[in-house]
Amino acid sequence: MKEKIIEFLTDTVKEMKKVTWPSKEELRESTVTVLAVCGIIIIFVFSVDWIVSNVLKTIL
């Protein structure tokens, strides 16, 4: 069991050395993109909810 844990940790360290981490600028751009897309989705969902709500109020 101990050998498997040590092997797992060794493999994890090897794999983490292969990772290419984003630069600050890439990270900033990705964050802005994610926030913008979230904002667009929020506006879309709010708009659809508002329209459906008003249609249902009119019908009922």
**Which pLDDT tens digit goes with each residue over 1-60?**
989 999 999 999 999 999 999 999 999 999 999 999 999 999 999 999 999 999 999 998
Domain-located, residue 1: no
Q: pTM for the whole thing?
A: 0.67
Structural domain range at position 53:
22-60
Domain-located, residue 6: no
Side-chain-facing half-sphere of 52: CA atoms under 13 Å: 6
The runs of H, that is alpha helices, within 1-60 are: 2-18, 24-59
Say if residues 49 and 42 touch (Cβ distance below 8 Å): no
pLDDT attached to residue 60: 86
Domain-located, residue 39: yes
Domain-located, residue 26: yes
